Amino acid sequence: MEDSSHVMPIISSKDASLIESVCKRTMYHDLCVSSLRSNPHSAGADVKGLARIMLELFRDKAIDNLVQVKKLQSTATDPVIQRCLEVCSTEYGLANDTYIPVAFGYFESNSMAEAVTNTGWAYDEVETCEDEFGEEHRSSPLTAQNNYAMHISRIAEDIMSILVEKTF
């Protein structure tokens, strides 16, 4: 039986063109394009729909990352790493419980500037998690996950900013 989880959704040339045009205006073009093209909800989506997809992807990644932090906390033996992970748990908790839900609320009410601001604050929480390890002169076990979350966050912010500027 063929694994269908890796099958790219079929999107029209119009959808592909919109994705390309929108992603050109983001900080991480290639990640933006691959993320949106692989999401079946991008077919037929407008700019706001594409922003929603990226915001949802950021939310899902932040939740996944907090789960990973909790797993690492349960096995960490180095007290410094334990403290860093505690900071990460707190920061991801703030992102997941406060900033991302508030961003969604503003997004749904078309208050895009406020949605961008709250998404940026959630980004800051992820960045603080990553930076904590560097400040303690330790290698972060979460670098790849944190960077991915931060990049997705920036893409969501960039697309929502297009809606703020009403330039599309």
Contact 57, 148 (CB under 8 A): no
User: What tokens does 32 get?
Assistant: 């933006």
Q: What is the number of other CB atoms lying within 10 angstroms of the CB of residue 62? A: 25
Structural domains in the chain, sorted by start: 48-165 (1.20.140.40)
Contact 122, 99 (CB under 8 A): yes
Each residue of 124-167: pLDDT tens digit?
Answer: 999 999 999 999 999 999 999 999 999 999 999 999 999 998 86
Each residue of 78-118: pLDDT tens digit?
Answer: 999 999 999 999 999 999 999 999 999 999 999 999 999 99
